[in-house]
């Protein structure tokens, strides 16, 4: 069984990505909590507020193209350079627009706070250069993400060493935004270099506007969906910071740091299995449905393994990582962490909808979740503060990623599979048959 697992490209790729994200999770939690203690609730809240503003528009920059481009590279590997070059070009143009919109928004929300303008401006520059990370789609299509793992981990460790130095040297909050942007810029450059080498001389990245527009006509609902998802994930921070101030936001930001760091798992699992899912749907529909149910159960089981211990130990975790100053974040963490369950099974559902070419449905589902989150935030944050924001986020995630499956006839079967995964997550014989079936 172990040898079979090792021979599975999907499992091998997943292992590399887990190693990458696992290192990032441990280091970012330790260093991030140290930075939070150093900055204090006021400045940490301001930094989190600025990150949320930038993230809202940065979510639109991939334009929903990634999964569709991976699919096309699988089908036309000799055209990989043209697909990569086209998606990078479109994403960079979108990133420039997103940066301008982020600056306009922060100026409107905080017209008398130049520090907030500067933070958003610096962070937005990083997102523009991050467009070059779209080159990783070539490695996703070939389940070879290990080519990028080692250099990215090294970069991540170096940048966190700089953050530690910034703390020791008494640097201001602006410097932490500079380091974040610098990491994005260098990561984009590394990805560009590695992908060019992997593509070879006869398949170099090249921009073709017609190719990009072809994908965009299919992907725009996914782009709107991604924007809606990040909106209802970050909207609570924007509303909380605007209504209750940076100190309340600092408490909330501390509470959500660990759960947000764990959202990498369903994404890398999906990216590892997407090529096999695309192929299996055409080759063996019955095996595809079985694999899809197991895929839901894997995601649900992973979520429960994270949510239960963190929810029970939330006050102790907060005191350990952030100190007594952030003790109010403990109950907030205990509630917010359950959003992971719906994030995990929601991302698994997204892969199915992509395979079925139902790319318009996530847009409507996430849009409805955004509306629920906005209403819940406006009602719950004034009386309950950070806890109200946490409840609003969990509620909207549940509706958008799970309950919405029952709203449409084409997704009700998937909704039932999601429900089965939630109530019977342990019914997984082995991860090996899944990789083989897919």
Quote the CA–CA distance of 47 and 55 in Å, as a whole number. 12
Cα distances from 5 to residues 9, 23, 393, in angstroms, run: 9, 22, 37
Give Cβ neighbours of residue 192 (< 8 Å, ≥ 6 apart).
132, 135
Distances (CA, A) of 213 to 141, 152, 168, 389: 21, 30, 49, 38
Decide if 111 contacts 242 (C-beta within 8 A).
no
> 65-74, 108-117, 192-201, 394-403 — which one is most confidently predicted on average?
394-403
Q: What is the residue-wise DSSP string for 211-244?
A: HHHHHHHHHHHHHHHHHHHHHHHHHHHHHHHHHH
pLDDT at 285 over 90: no
Confidence of residue 72 (pLDDT cuts 50, 70, 90): confident
Residue 217 neighbours by CB under 8 Å, 6+ apart:
none
Q: Point out the least confidently predicted range of 249-253, 348-352, 408-412.
A: 348-352
Question: Whole-angstrom Cα distance, residue 401 to residue 365?
Answer: 7
Mean pLDDT along residues 417-427 = 87
pLDDT over 70 percentage in the chain: 87
Rounded to an integer, what distance in angstroms lies between the CA atom of residue 401 and that of residue 384?
25
| CB-CB contact of 82 with 149 (8 Å) | no
- For residue 32, the model assigns a pLDDT of 86
pLDDT of residue 3: 42
pLDDT (mean) for 126-130:
89
Q: What is the mean pLDDT of residues 46-55?
A: 89
Q: Cα 412 to chain center, whole Å?
A: 25
Is the pLDDT assigned to residue 363 strictly greater than 80? Answer: no
pLDDT given for residue 300 in this prediction? 92
Using an 8 Å Cβ cutoff, are 351 and 295 in contact?
yes
Residue 148 is predicted with a pLDDT of: 79
Q: Is residue 139 within 8 Å of 110, Cβ to Cβ? A: no
Do residues 304 and 425 lie in contact, with contact meaning Cβ atoms separated by under 8 Å? yes
pLDDT reading at 289 higher than 70: yes
- Please report the pLDDT score of residue 435 as a whole number: 41
pLDDT at 433: 40
Residue 332 has pLDDT above 70, yes or no: yes
What tens digit of pLDDT does each residue of 8-43 get? Answer: 555 566 666 667 777 777 888 888 888 988 988 889
Q: For residue 135, which of 181, 203, 75 has the smallest C-alpha distance?
A: 203
At 200 the pLDDT is: 72
Helix (H, G, I), strand (E, B) or coil at 335: helix
Q: Which of 191-195, 210-214, 430-434 has the highest mean pLDDT?
A: 191-195
pLDDT value, residue 341 = 94
> Is the pLDDT higher at 289 or at 333?
333
* Average pLDDT, rounded, for the chain: 82
Name the residue with higher pLDDT: 106 or 146.
Answer: 106
Mean pLDDT, rounded, for 102-106: 90
Lowest mean pLDDT among 128-142, 310-324, 387-401: 128-142
Band (110; pLDDT cuts 50, 70, 90): confident
Residue 4 pLDDT level (bands cut at 50, 70, 90) = very low
Give the pLDDT mean for 106-116.
87
pLDDT of 430? 42
**What is the structure's pLDDT at 199?**
77
Q: If 0-12 CB within 10 Å is exposed, 13-18 middle and 19+ buried, where does residue 93 land?
A: middle
Provide the token pair at 301: 């089981």
Q: What confidence score (pLDDT) does residue 12 get?
A: 63
- Decide if pLDDT at 5 tops 50: no
Q: List the alpha helices (DSSP H) in 65-145.
A: 66-75, 80-109, 114-129, 136-141
pLDDT for the residue 197: 81
Whether residue 230 contacts residue 59, with contact meaning beta carbons closer than 8 Å, is answered with yes
What pLDDT is stored for residue 312 in this prediction?
A: 95
Question: Going by C-beta distance under 8 Å and a sequence separation of 6 or more, which residues neighbour residue 105?
Answer: 53, 56, 57
């Amino acid at each position: 069984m172990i040898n079979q697992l090792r021979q599975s490209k999907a499992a091998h790729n997943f292992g590399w990505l887990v190693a990458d994200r696992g290192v990032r999770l441990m280091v970012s939690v330790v260093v991030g909590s140290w930075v939070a203690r150093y900055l204090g609730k006021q400045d940490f809240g301001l930094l989190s507020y600025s990150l949320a503003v930038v993230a809202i528009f940065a979510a639109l920059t991939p334009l929903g193209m990634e999964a569709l481009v991976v699919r096309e590279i699988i089908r036309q590997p000799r055209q990989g350079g043209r697909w990569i070059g086209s998606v990078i070009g479109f994403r960079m143009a979108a990133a420039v627009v997103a940066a301008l919109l982020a600056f306009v928004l922060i100026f409107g929300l905080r017209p008398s706070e130049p520090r907030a303008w500067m933070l958003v401006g610096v962070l937005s520059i990083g997102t523009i250069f991050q467009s070059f990370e779209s080159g990783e789609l070539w490695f996703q299509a070939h389940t070879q993400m290990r080519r990028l793992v080692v250099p990215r981990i090294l970069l991540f460790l170096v940048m966190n060493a700089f953050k530690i130095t910034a703390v020791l040297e008494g640097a201001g909050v602006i410097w932490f935004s500079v380091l974040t942007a610098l990491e994005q810029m260098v990561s984009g450059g590394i990805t560009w270099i590695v992908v060019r080498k992997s593509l070879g001389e006869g398949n170099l990245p090249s921009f073709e506007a017609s190719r990009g527009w072809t994908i965009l006509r299919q992907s725009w609902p996914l782009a709107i969906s991604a924007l809606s998802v990040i909106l209802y994930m970050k909207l609570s921070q924007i509303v909380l910071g605007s209504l209750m101030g940076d100190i309340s936001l600092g408490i909330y930001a501390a509470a959500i740091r660990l759960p947000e760091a764990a959202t990498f798992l369903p994404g890398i699992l999906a990216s590892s299995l997407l090529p096999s899912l695309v192929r299996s749907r055409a080759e063996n529909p019955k095996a595809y449905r079985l694999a899809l149910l197991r895929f839901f159960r894997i995601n649900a089981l992973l979520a429960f393994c994270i949510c239960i211990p963190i929810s029970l130990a939330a006050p102790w975790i907060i005191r350990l990582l952030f100190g007594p100053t952030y003790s109010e974040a403990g109950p907030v963490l205990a509630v917010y962490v359950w959003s992971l369950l719906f994030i995990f099974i929601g991302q698994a559902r997204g892969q199915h909808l992509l395979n079925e070419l139902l790319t318009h449905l996530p847009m409507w589902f996430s849009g409805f979740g955004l509306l629920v989150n906005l209403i819940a935030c406006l009602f719950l944050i004034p009386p309950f503060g950070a806890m109200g924001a946490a409840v609003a986020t969990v509620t909207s995630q549940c509706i958008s990623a799970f309950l919405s499956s029952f709203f449409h006839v084409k997704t009700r079967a998937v909704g039932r599979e999601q429900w089965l995964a939630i109530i019977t997550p342990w019914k997984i014989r082995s991860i090996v048959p899944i990789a083989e079936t897919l």
